[in-house]
Amino acid sequence: MIRLLRAADYPRMPWKNGAGTTLEITRDAGDGLDGFGWRLSIADVGESGGFSAFNGYQRIITVLEGEGMSLTVDGVESRPLHALDPFAFSGDRAVQCRLLGGAIRDFNLIYAPKRYSARLQWLRVDGTQRLFSSAPTVLLFSAGNGLAVRLDGQECGALERHDCLQVERGDGLAELVLSSIQPSDCCLIELTPT
């Protein structure tokens, strides 16, 4: 199954702690804020404050827009987090966010490590790049415009800003070919049931 998810169609949901909103890109299962094994979303953070707890989950967060933030996880402050610099932490931890210069937008992968193993990497595509993955679920999120994608020779369309390609597949090695006429940043996420 191949799904091209458009940013304009993402549903807006409240945070668990009620302090903001999230655009949900996609998830494997469940409703609301429960039951999923993995979930991909974009959050708008307008002020410094506490993060929602997601007990039993691992989180990987990346600033997409704005000057950045610093996170304090169980009393330990992170490095300053700027655009496209991912940071991982346990959803069980007490997390406070300090904005470094105004509102930001961030990108979140939340997954249950007892159910999935995950790999997340940011890539800059300038021209054509060829990747291979054996993961049953592959997500490709575009931070830019005009990222063309082919999967095993099949055209999947062009990803515009904040669009996401979701690929669910069987066994074997898949070939992804990414093309962009101008430098374009994207995030490749590979999820495998444990």
Please compute Rg for the chain using Cα positions. Answer: 16
Provide the domain limits for residue 45: 7-111
**Nearest 5°: CA angle at 176, between 155 and 140?**
90
User: Among 111, 143, 161, which residue terminates a domain?
Assistant: 111
Q: For residue range 107-157, what is the model confidence (pLDDT) as tens digits?
A: 999 999 999 999 999 999 999 999 999 999 999 999 999 999 999 999 999
Does residue 188 sit in the same domain as residue 151? yes
Residue 15 has pLDDT above 80, yes or no: no
DSSP run (H or E) holding 122: strand 116-133
Number of structural domains in the chain: 2
**Nearest 5°: CA angle at 171, between 153 and 25?**
70
pLDDT at 32: 67
Residue 16 has pLDDT above 80, yes or no: no
Query: Is pLDDT larger for residue 32 or for residue 96?
Result: 96
Residue 96: beta bridge partners? 50, 72
Does residue 73 sit in the same domain as residue 126? no
d(Cα 82, Cα 68) in Å, to the nearest integer?
4
Does residue 146 belong to any structural domain of this protein? Answer: yes
Does residue 125 sit in the same domain as residue 99? no
Distance of CA 96 to CAs 39, 76, 91, 125, Å? 21, 10, 12, 33
Does residue 75 sit in the same domain as residue 130? no
Entry pTM: 0.94
